[in-house]
Chain A
Amino acid sequence: MIHLYDVPLAFALVGLALYTVLGGADFGAGFWQLVAGRGERGREIRDHAHHAMGPVWEANHVWLVFVLTVMWTAYPTAFASIASTLSVPLFVAGLGIVLRGGAYALRSGTVSPREQRLVDTVFAVSSVLTPFALGTAVGGVASGRVHVGNPGGSVLTSWLNATSIMTGLLGTAFAAYNAAVFLSGDARRDGNEELAERFRRRALGAGLVAGAAAFAGLGVLRADDHHLFTRLATGSGLAAVVLSVAAGVGTLALIYVRRYEPARYTSAVAVAAIIGGWAVAQNPVLIRGLTIHDAAAGRDTLVALVVAVVAGGALVFPSLTLLFRLTLGGRLRGDALIPGAVIRPRGPHTRRNTLPAAALLVAGIGFLTVADAAWAHAIGVTALLLFVAVAFRSVALEDEDTASVGDPA
């Protein structure tokens, strides 16, 4: 039975799964840049990883912000306890994200291949660091090492423990694997079969490593946190694990036969299933000693948040679909100017608006500065902003410039 107080957590888990898949693909792309090696072949890998992620990486990273904001709005005490206890890995992840973003900002200015290689290598370190750090944080929460408090638990062993390190390694391996799947499909769409093959081999290798890490992880979990292990090995927890394993094996098979497009979705299913399994295994506990029910904010907040997320999702999902369709369709790459762009010049449009602008300025000052009532201030501010807008149209362009374009008459 799903209660209102569970709903934001479900949103946060969906966000976490999407961040693992989409944000993970970005960090993984950074990983392949890091190990691309020298020479022309290395450069090809790095360039491809950069161009494929360029238009989408920022949107992919917003999922993390989404998870944070939903958690602190709906479960403030739990969020605060997690953040103060796991401050080290979360901060390291934050620094890694800054460096990753820096790499994108810098690459837009680099010119020579040597500079690009330097930028990619220096900043790609973050691509290994961040998924590992976030993984250790998730492991700390899952293994019940965070309880209510500031900090609620050891700030060191809460993330430096067998389960955390295992989750961190799994996160890094999965990111590399997921990126390779994404990039091989992308290279094929570019018509570069040779590059697609190279990413396919990387995907298969990383997939095997990630799978092995997952199985080793179950062993670690059994020794470290027997309770969680038991919940994952029985009932609906087991169902989720089985689904995840099936999806993982299926993904490897799809990559083996070069079906990259469906492989993308099955690998996402593998992640979503394991996150769902974790949630089911831990339910109704959010962090040690605090249930989801007790952690949840009041009804007004939960309702407002759910409405905001649903409305925001209604805006964001179609937009994301558009972005991915344009990216995956190769519409955001290269410099082939679309021919036949019909533009009908309509001639100068700048008017002299001195009088209305002056009137708005005087009205704005009168209502905002001389008058004292709140309603007068509202009128005054509106008039001042209108003054800026109206006057802008008269002064933004030089007079000679407005006259130089052909008169339509």
Chain B
Amino acid sequence: MTLAPALLAAGLSPGQQRYLSEARQMQALSFAAHIPLVCFGIALPALVLYVEWLYLRRGDELYRTIARRWSRIMAALFAAGAVTGTILSLEMGLLWPNFTGTFGSVFGLGFAIEGFSFFTEAIFMGIYVYGWSRLPPRWHFASGIPMAVAGFAGSLMVISVNGWMNHPSGFRIVGGKVVDVHPLHALFANTYFWHELVHMYLAGYMVTGFLLAGAYALCRLRGAWGRYERTALAIPLAAATLASVAQVFVGDWNGREVAATQPTKLAAFEGLGRTVKGADVHLLGWYSHGHVSWGIPIPKLLSLLAFHSTNATVQGLDAVGPADRPPVNVVRFAFQTMVGIGTLLAALSVYALLVRLRRGRLPESRWFHLGLVAAGPLAVVALIAGWVVTEVGRQPWVVYHVMRTTQAVTGAGGIPVGYGALALVYLALAAGVGWVLMRLYRRPLEAT
């Protein structure tokens, strides 16, 4: 299928928008607020259910206490996730009406199905969280299963849409119109979908696991270290460390998929100005005028990583015109941040796992627990950096090589006002959620 961007005449006239940059920032803010909450939607239900399963299996009240306390966190974060997700679906029309108006029939189905998994999650979250002391234990456990499945299924649907935006298919453009639409093909027969899904899924466990474990590491640093804290640290840490190890290889796979389908994005990751054989990787540094200055070069590594051959040709930014390149330094900085943090977390994880294997217990040193406290926030930074890599790296396209972001934006005014209002409301929400989490954290154990 050939997709000629110049031929696309959207159903609506492109909006005259002075504030495109603000619209993009507003969208980025909305994503950045929502994505960490999605991680908890992916991983926390499964962890809570695991702990409740331990309780059912062993009859040890400790596990019930842990599961109940975590389920309160889950409920608070799900509420925040539900409303920030609603904002995102409104913004599909409020900020990018031409995108939704032109391609809604192609990708919209993914969100419609996601709506149903959101439904299922909300329904069973209500039953699970409010049913702790009123439902028979087995039924209570069972009510959590659809919640966990739906948490995963929802993110699967959203990522199928993101995969489509990066690698569009399932339609043709004839006479400037989108025709011959096959939504199932567009969403689920897309080769770009799987690696993104697995990458995000593991990231969900890393963010949730490290943040939870970090909270209990803080308990330990403050001298509270009973059986409760030990158990509640070890379980999320196990998930986070194992996911971090697997993520190294899944991340590498993601890089190779980007190299194959979006060479310009890959060139932006590395600041590769010109197409060369045997391309280098630069650590740190700054991209300007076609090459990276002040970076530490590692010869031929990019060719090796991307194409498994030190002499492979890697396409540079010069393969496309300047108007078709993403903002290189933003993408590159985000990429280095993600990979750097990922490497640190993987190293911490390997250390923890090795000690665990050799001595039958976790490391006990102070610096290890300080590292755990830092790991959670770092994982969130890496998560957001990763989404910056894929979303800003796709620019200037909203639908890769088909529709530009400038063509998608709304023509309605007032974006700076909306952006400011949303920022204020999200600040209040973040402060509120932070305060609730502190409250739940300090709540005495007996009060669960």
Using CB atoms, name the residue of chain A closest to B118.
Answer: A62
List B15-58 residues whose CB lies under 8 Å from chain A. Answer: 15, 50, 54-58
Q: Judge whether A72 and B13 touch: CB under 8 Å.
A: no
Q: Judge whether B105 and A61 touch: CB under 8 Å.
A: no
* Known interface pairs A343-B137, A395-B353; A87-B410 also in contact (CB < 8 Å): yes
Q: Which residue among A83, A308, A327, A364 has the maximum number of chain B CB atoms within 10 Å of its CB?
A: A83
Interface residues on B, range: 35 or more
Query: Which residues on the A side are within 8 Å of B231 (C-beta)?
Result: 397-398, 401
* Known interface pairs A55-B127, A90-B90, A364-B246; A333-B134 also in contact (CB < 8 Å): yes
**Interface membership of A379, Cβ < 8 A:** no
B contact face: mostly helix, strand, loop, or mixed: helix
- In the bound complex, CA of A381 to CA of B362 (Å): 27
Q: Judge whether B101 and A77 touch: CB under 8 Å.
A: yes
- In the bound complex, CA of A364 to CA of B249 (Å): 8
Q: Judge whether A381 and B13 touch: CB under 8 Å.
A: no
Distance in Å from the Cβ of A96 to the closest Cβ of chain B?
Answer: 9
- In the bound complex, CA of A187 to CA of B250 (Å): 53
* Known interface pairs A77-B101, A80-B98; A396-B50 also in contact (CB < 8 Å): yes
Query: Which residues on the A side are within 8 Å of B103 (C-beta)?
Result: 76
List B166-206 residues whose CB lies under 8 Å from chain A. Answer: 179-184, 191, 194, 198, 202, 205
Query: Which residues on the A side are within 8 Å of B124 (C-beta)?
Result: 319
- In the bound complex, CA of A298 to CA of B89 (Å): 22
**Interface membership of B225, Cβ < 8 A:** no
Query: Which residues on the A side are within 8 Å of B422 (C-beta)?
Result: 95
Interface residues on A, range: 35 or more
* Known interface pairs A73-B111, A150-B411; A396-B89 also in contact (CB < 8 Å): no
Distance in Å from the Cβ of B194 to the closest Cβ of chain A?
Answer: 7
Interface string of B112-123 (1 = CB under 8 A from A): 111110111011
List A52-78 residues whose CB lies under 8 Å from chain B. Answer: 54-56, 58-59, 61-62, 64-66, 68-70, 72-77
Using CB atoms, name the residue of chain B closest to A309.
Answer: B112
* Known interface pairs A72-B108, A320-B123, A369-B252; A108-B80 also in contact (CB < 8 Å): no
Query: Which residues on the B side are within 8 Å of A344 (C-beta)?
Result: 59
Query: Which residues on the A side are within 8 Å of B433 (C-beta)?
Result: 102, 105-106
Query: Which residues on the B side are within 8 Å of A388 (C-beta)?
Result: 202, 205, 239, 242-243, 246
**Interface membership of A7, Cβ < 8 A:** no
Q: Judge whether B242 and A391 touch: CB under 8 Å.
A: yes
Q: Judge whether A98 and B429 touch: CB under 8 Å.
A: yes
**Interface membership of B403, Cβ < 8 A:** no
Interface string of A376-409 (1 = CB under 8 A from B): 0110110011011001100111111100010000
Give me 14 A-to-B residue pairs in the complex whose CB atoms sit less than 8 angstroms apart, sorted by A's number. Answer: A55-B127, A76-B102, A80-B98, A87-B412, A94-B86, A101-B79, A106-B436, A150-B12, A319-B123, A332-B127, A335-B133, A338-B134, A368-B250, A388-B202
Known A66-B116, A69-B111, A384-B250; 7 more pairs at CB < 8 Å: A64-B86, A83-B410, A87-B414, A98-B429, A312-B113, A331-B134, A397-B54
